[in-house]
Amino acid sequence: MVEKVITLDNVSLIDFLGVENHNIKEVAAAFPMSKIISRGNEIRIKGTTPEISRISDILDSLMEHYQKYGKITHENIQNYLLNSGIPVSGTGSVPPVPPDDDEVLVYGTRGVVVRAKTDNQKRLVEAAEKHDLVFAIGPAGTGKTYTAVAIAVRALKNKEVKKIIITRPAVEAGENLGFLPGDLKEKIDPYLRPIYDALDDMIPAEKLKFYQENRIIEIAPLAYMRGRTLNNAFILLDEAQNTTPMQMKMFLTRMGPTSKAIITGDRSQIDLPNRQKSGLIESVEILKNIKGISFVELDGRDVVRHRLVREIITAYDKAGQ
């Protein structure tokens, strides 16, 4: 007998292995002549070389399934065993692996399926596929930030980029970050809470922690982008209406040759000091004729929050606010 060790990196062990390692036990039951043991993030397989190869192929398929859909079910395991020619009980009732859905952006956590829900959100997805720089502009509640995060996470999962960088100007409280208590993360976390909420929906907690610890997903204030060249990355600038013209120019010139960027903002929520021009508004005017840059406008029809939010936005638009 020979032995092979498979290391599970960058996965939620409870989601992949199952409660009390039930998923792996189910695979092991299909190969009684081999021994499959799970300890921590390692799976040890002992058996003949041909059988170890078959088990490895099944585990690889399950890993690919987990990376795409975020979970493993009993039906998934039976289906992959059947596809490998392993007989299982109740074969007549085993459903197929979920088909690809071009409209799904991310299969997230807790069964969340993230997709564009409105016409303009779909336009944002299409624009990001065709252009390296996209501006998504619209009022609160239109899903521009959430959709942009989903597009970036999809690109990372599909290995189209090596990292995600999310940034936002921290000006809402009118305070200098240096005077707020705590380390850098504690200072900026309140400003970036919507980003974390979106990521929590799309990436399991253990995996998100791994990504952040290894700088695969980086969340930082806009001031920390200065002087950097961001290569092979998906870059999101959120709340861009609160950038100054110089900050916006600085951000736009960070893009490396293999980067993509989405800039989101709301013209109606500018929190800059009086008479300070918004970098977002200025950049839209300056860049509107450059080929390769796309501008997507979202409006009240794209609101996916409480039904009253749409009516509130409409009322403020009519009042010219």
Q: Are 132 and 287 in contact (CB under 8 A)?
A: no
Domains, the chain, ordered by start = 2-84 (3.30.1370.10), 104-319 (3.40.50.300)
Q: What is the pLDDT of residue 95?
A: 47
Q: How far apart are the C-alpha atoms of 43 and 23, rounded to whole Å?
A: 12
264 strand-pairing partners: 136
End-to-end CA distance of the chain: 75
Query: What letter would DSSP give residue 170?
Result: -
Alpha-carbon Rg for the chain, nearest whole angstrom, is 23
Residues of the chain by 3-state class (helix, strand, coil), percent to 5:
45, 20, 35
| Whole-number Å distance between alpha carbons of 48 and 53 | 9
Q: What number of other Cβ atoms are within 10 A of residue 104's Cβ?
A: 17
Q: What six digits make up the tokens of 30?
A: 């299909």
Which residue in 261, 202, 211, 265 sits closest to 236, CA to CA? 261
The pLDDT of residue 174:
46
**CB neighbour burial string for 287-311, b if at least 16 within 10 angstroms, e if fewer:** eeeeeebbebebbbebbeeeeebbe
What per-residue confidence (pLDDT) applies to 268? Answer: 84
Amino acid at 209: K
- Which residues lie below 8 Å from residue 195, measured CB to CB, with a gap of 6+? 145, 149, 166, 168, 219, 236, 238
Residue 12 CB coordination number (10 Å): 19
Taking only the tens place, the pLDDT of each residue in 231-264 is: 999 999 999 999 999 999 999 998 988 899 999 9
| pLDDT score of 184 | 59
pLDDT at site 169: 85
Task: State the pLDDT at residue 183.
Answer: 60
Alpha-carbon distance of 48 to 52, in angstroms, equals 6
Task: Determine the pLDDT at residue 194.
Answer: 81
**φ, ψ of residue 79 in degrees (nearest 5):** -65, -45
Q: pLDDT below 70 — which residues of the chain?
A: 10, 88-102, 110-111, 171-189, 304-307, 309-310, 320-321
